[in-house]
Amino acid sequence: MTDLSDEGFDDWPAAPGRIGGAWDLPLTASERQAMEALAQTLRITANPLGRTQLAMLLLGQVPADLLKTAVIHLRQLLRRDFVGMLPMEVATRILEFLPIRDIVRSASLVSRQWRAVATQACLWRRLYLRRGWRVDADRWAFYSSLPRGICPARVMLDSSVLHVSNAISLANTPKDMSALLEHPPETPRQTLDSVLGGMGKVYMPQRVLRQRQFMSSSSSEASSRSSSPLSSPRLRGPTLAIDWRMLYAEYTQLEANWRSGRCRVDRWEAAHSESIYCLQFDRHSRLFSGSRDATVKVWHLADAASHITQLATLRGHTGSVLTLQADEATLVTGSSDATVRVWDLLTYTQTHCLHHADAVLSLRFNEKWLVTACKDRLVRVWRRNTNYSDMFELRGHAVAVNAVHLHGDTLVSASGDRSIKVWDLERRSCELTLVDHVRGVACLDFDGRFIVSGSSDRSIRIWSLESRRCERTIHNAHSDLVRTIMFDRAMDIVVSGSYDESIKIWRFSTGALLHKIKNVHTSRVFKLMFDRSRIVSCSHDRSISIIDFAANIPHARMLV
């Protein structure tokens, strides 16, 4: 009889739970009929316990070597892809509890279904926000509008947009600051970035764009100035398509750069004609600097940190500009000419001039208060909602008040008399005096809970308002006066600048030195400020320097 079987096709009707592979053995017709009868018996047995007993009787007749194979195949049947069976929202919630390395290296390689879950935007958004990280949505909206293939870090300034020129070239400075680190950096942990394997545009905040439109339009549009500083028409539309997985990888790389000291320095020589005493930059890439040449300059700081363009020069002071602060629409400056001047950043014009009896060394303001500190030992406080007509004085320091910092209604002041005072502005009273420095206090920073101070005794001290005492002291932090300081508890970072020409980065929680960055300036460091990606500083050498920890991260300026 001719064998008509097809060796490439098996039409044997498989019973429920049939296992192929090693069980596809050559059987006679009678043997097949017997197996079919057993399978039918299993199917018609309603009692699950009876099925189990019958199956166990059959397995008891199987030779030991084949029984091992049966166990292997039974394990395959018992496996359940619970992630693939669950709704996507539930599956992503489960994966949230895995370490990031396991999500990237393990979960995404299990199957296509697991990979689809492991790459969901909602998963990475929750992981990103859980770390306390944020995104500058306005800036992301701008870069999202760029043509595909354009790297955000390469987008340069277009003078036709800003209506300015006067670009300042970079000095020949080292690009890899790691060679300048005197303190050996920590060995960076492997980051997610390693695991995941000439445009004529410039980012400008929506408010600034509206202001420039206002300047060229009729005065009837002046009401636009009352709009929210952070509002953006773009953000009122559909939700932005943010690549949260990519941003998580870049933020991880950024943190690794801070730990390892991987950074680049850009320096602009002769940004002013004299020493630069103060500066501030903001999320809108505006940089403000005040100098001994009696001017305040407003710059545009390109995201690539390789180009700055002067937007305006403000003149009015007759002495050195020693201190300044800016918000969305207002700039306040203090000078050795004993005046405090308030400027409108919409028109770059002066709106108010306030007076002291001596040089104004420091100032801070918020929506409610303007506080100025003077060489005459006084702190003066103006209510901003009274058009600066309501003013009172705080007395208590024995010598010049070198620095002030404001948080809500709480003011902190530091003086050459070695003390730090905490004031309640509503009560107009000193609530606490902190004394531990052995020489005058030159600078401080305050976030509402902690104060970090630097002194001419070369130390840095970290104070807690809750315990009302000094929590940590870094003795001999610099070899000369600690002139400027700033900290961020979320980043666990303190950055200090000194007359010894160096900038140092410290661990806030322990006081440990992370990096000492040298050769950024060739003279005394007067002021510094930092954000998530860079440190900006100015000096007696008339230069402005940027220590950029995000030179290798395309979207770093969107990470806040």
Tens digits of residue pLDDT in 76-114: 777 777 777 888 889 899 889 989 989 988 888 888 888
Contact 504, 495 (CB under 8 A): yes
- Residue 141 φ/ψ, nearest 5 degrees: -60, -40
What is the pLDDT at residue 85? Answer: 80
Per-residue b/e over 460-472, b at no fewer than 16 CB within 10 Å?
A: bbbbebeeeebeb
The sign of the torsion formed by the CA atoms of 376, 378, 384, 385 equals negative
pLDDT tier for residue 281 given thresholds of 50, 70 and 90: very high
What is the pLDDT at residue 22? Answer: 42
Would you say residue 159 has pLDDT above 70? no
Helix (H, G, I), strand (E, B) or coil at 125: helix
Largest CA distance in the chain: 121
Please state, for a pLDDT cut of 90, what percent of the chain lies above it: 53
Average pLDDT estimate for 46-73: 78
- Per-residue HEC secondary structure of 144-193 comes to HCCCCCCCHHHCCCCHHHHCCCCEECCCCCCCCHHHHECCCCCCCCCCHH
Q: Which range among 100-109, 235-244, 420-429, 521-530 shows the weakest confidence by mean pLDDT?
A: 235-244
- Rounded to whole angstroms, what are the CA distances from 228 to 224, 286, 329, 510? 9, 18, 11, 39
70 vs 92, higher pLDDT: 92
pLDDT tier for residue 42 given thresholds of 50, 70 and 90: confident
From the list 308, 326, 334, 322, the residue with the least C-alpha distance to 275 is 322
Question: The whole model's pTM is what?
Answer: 0.74
H helices of 241-337, in order, are 244-260
Contact 476, 459 (CB under 8 A): yes
Q: What is the pLDDT of residues 434-493, one digit of tens each?
A: 999 999 999 999 999 999 999 999 999 999 999 999 999 999 999 999 999 999 999 999
Q: For the chain, what is the mean pLDDT?
A: 80
**The two structure tokens encoding residue 417:** 């008399």
Q: What is the pLDDT of residues 225-264, one digit of tens each?
A: 333 333 333 333 445 678 899 999 999 999 999 999 999 9
What is the pLDDT at residue 177? Answer: 33
What is the pLDDT at residue 175? Answer: 37
pLDDT tier for residue 210 given thresholds of 50, 70 and 90: very low
What is the pLDDT at residue 81? Answer: 76
